[in-house]
Structures are given as structure tokens and as C-alpha cells.
Amino acid sequence: MIVEASAPGKVILFGEHSVVYKGSAIVLAINKRARVFAEKRNDDRIFMDSEDLGYSGFFIGDEYHPVKGAPWRGRSLTAVNLVSRKTMEKLGVQSGLNLKLRSEIPSAVGLGSSAAICVATAAAIDGLFEGKLSREEICALAYEGEKVIHGRPSGVDNNVSTFGGVLKYEGGVGFEKIILDESPCFVIGNTKQKRSTGRMVQIVSELRQRNQSIVDEIIETLGSISETGLSYLLKHDYKHLGELMDICHGLLTSLGVSTPMLDKLVHASRESGAMGAKLTGAGGGGCMIALVDEERMAAVEEAIRIAGGSPMRVDVSYEGVKTRRVD
């Protein structure tokens, strides 16, 4: 028996960096998904096929053995190995596994690919052993994998990937699910430049140490934008929502987390008719997001492509993690 589970990626609409200090982040699940196919083995190996990324191998315990690709590739699979073993431990089973990992979500560019893989892994293994874990339990197991990758993650990525839709997150408060009766259209522009979230957070922290009063005012304003932006999103006021995205990008740029390529894609999107555009995620590379009317989609995509980015249309996905048996 083979079980497939899939989970969505995400974009951050508002709240990058400011959420670390004060205020909320508004996060949207998107209709690009990661998929994990799980099958039992007769030994204790956990074999992972990531051949669409150019590598595969297996774990015996915590030790990685490459089959295709360099040995260091095992570092990117350590989180999946941990989630696999913790899920089986939670279910009270022991088995080897064949896991096939496939994703529509580009990796290491701020779209939540690692969280989606971790969520789908826990769900696929649960389905394989007919464990009937709750979504909350799957989310918690995926968070264990996220800690391997990111150290001290907020939990935003695994939550939005598990439950889908729109989430408001605030440190010390938690998560609130937001229901929209109408969803806007977005185009993502991928710079294809990988970046480190931890390094970007450090850059903002160091800037704040040197200029605390000024940076605190920027953080305060970014927090206010999250709240106002959410109200515009709920009212379908996309004109003002787009304006806030533009303002937000300028403030994030002032914190030192944008790049020339991100700025280039943002400005190309605006000039081709986007209602607003900003970087999404930690910055330092990765992706930007543009709010676009349906009739301007093709023009914005082409502008991003000409500017050197990789465009991708996305919608808000209200479908979180899902599982099916494959025979």
C-alpha cells in the first residue's frame, strides 16, 4: 500500500521581521503543494527519493547514506527523518519506509517548502499505519522537523501548511484563523536567490542595536500595517491593500532586508499594472509578491520574467494537509 499526503506552501502578506518584536503577521496558504508518498519496507531503513532535486539516499538511525548526489545532501533530509521516526513513535509502530518527496514549492526562498514537506511526511505516515492523528498532532510533529531546520521557528509555516487558509499570528498570543469570502489574486516573483532567515533576522537585530529608537518606530509602523492590511483584505479593498504593500516594502528595505533583485521585480510588477508589490518572507533573496487584477496577470508575469525573475500565479488555498491511498 502507498499513501500520498500533500500540504500547501505559504506567503507572508504582512508582518515580516516586525512580528519578531511586536505585532502580528498575516500569512496565506497558497495553491502550490508538496507531496510525500509513503510505503512500508521490510527493513529498518528510511529511504528518501528526492530525485527531482537530484538526490536520494537512506537513513539508518540518524546516519545518512547517499545513493544519488553528494553526502552533504543528507542535511536537508534530516528533518524528514526526524519527523518520520517521531510519527512512528507517536503511533507506536516500528518499520522502515520508502518516502518519495515531490514539491511544486521552490525551496529556500521563503515559501514554506520545508514545512509543507514535514507536514505531508507526518500525514502520509499516519495514513500508512491508519493512525488517525488529529491535524493538531500532525502540526506538532512537523514543528519538530522545522526546529531542525530553523532552530527556533515561530510555528507559522507548519500551522498554515497544516490548516490552510489565512492565519494571523502574534507572538505570545498565538494563531487566529481568518475567513475570507473572496480571495485576491497574486503573482509571486522568485529571484532564484536562496537566503537564510536567521541571517536576515540577525541583520535587523544588529541595526536595531545601533539605532533602536528609529528601528522601533519602523517596527511599530509595520505592526500597524498588518492590522490595517487585514481590515482591507476582509473588506476586499484591494486598492488600499496594494498601497500598504508598497509602503511595507519600503519599510522593509529601510531595515536592510531587500536586495537589488527583489527591488527590480517589485518595481517591474508595479510598472506593469500590479496594485501593489513587496518582498515576502525574510528577504535577502527569495521571493516578492504582487497583488494583481485578473486582466493584468499575464503582463505582470512577463514583466517579472523580463526582469530576471521566475513568475508564478497563486491563489489562497483553503485546503490544508490531505491524504489519500494510492493503489
Query: Phi and psi for 38 in degrees, rounded to 5?
Result: -115, 140
Query: Quick one: pLDDT at residue 235?
Result: 95
CA dihedral sign of residues 19, 22, 28, 34: positive
Q: How many helices (H) and strands (E) does the chain have?
A: 10, 13
Mark the ranges of the chain whose per-residue pLDDT is less than 50: none
CB atoms under 10 Å from CB of 306, counted, come to 11
Pairwise CA distance, residues 135 & 128, whole Å:
16
Angle formed at CA 156 by CA 93 and CA 107, multiple of 5 degrees: 80
Q: The C-alpha cell of 110 is what?
A: 521563503
3-state class (DSSP) for residue 304: helix
The catalytic site residues sit at 157
For residue 111, what pLDDT is reported? 94
Instruction: Indicate the helix (H) or strand (E) that contains 245.
Output: helix 238-254
Distance of alpha carbon 206 from alpha carbon 212, whole angstroms? 9
CB 62 within 8 A of CB 46: no
CB atoms within 10 A of CB 246: 16
What would the pLDDT profile of 76-134 be if each residue is shown by its tens digit? 899 999 999 999 999 999 999 999 999 999 988 889 999 999 999 999 999 999 999 99
Q: What are phi and psi of 107, to 5 degrees?
A: -90, 150
Whether residue 16 contacts residue 289, with contact meaning beta carbons closer than 8 Å, is answered with no
d(CA 148, CA 114): 10
pLDDT value at residue 183? 86
Q: Distance between CA 164 and CA 182 in Å, rounded? A: 15
pLDDT reported for residue 227: 96
Task: Report the C-alpha gap between 254 and 293 in whole angstroms.
Answer: 28
Residue 210's pLDDT is what? 97
- What the chain holds in terms of domains, given with CATH numbers, is 2-178+317-326 (3.30.230.10), 186-314 (3.30.70.890)
How much is the pLDDT for 186? 97
Q: How many Cβ atoms sit within 10 Å of the Cβ of residue 248?
A: 25
Cell of 125: 505516515
Cell of 140: 506538532
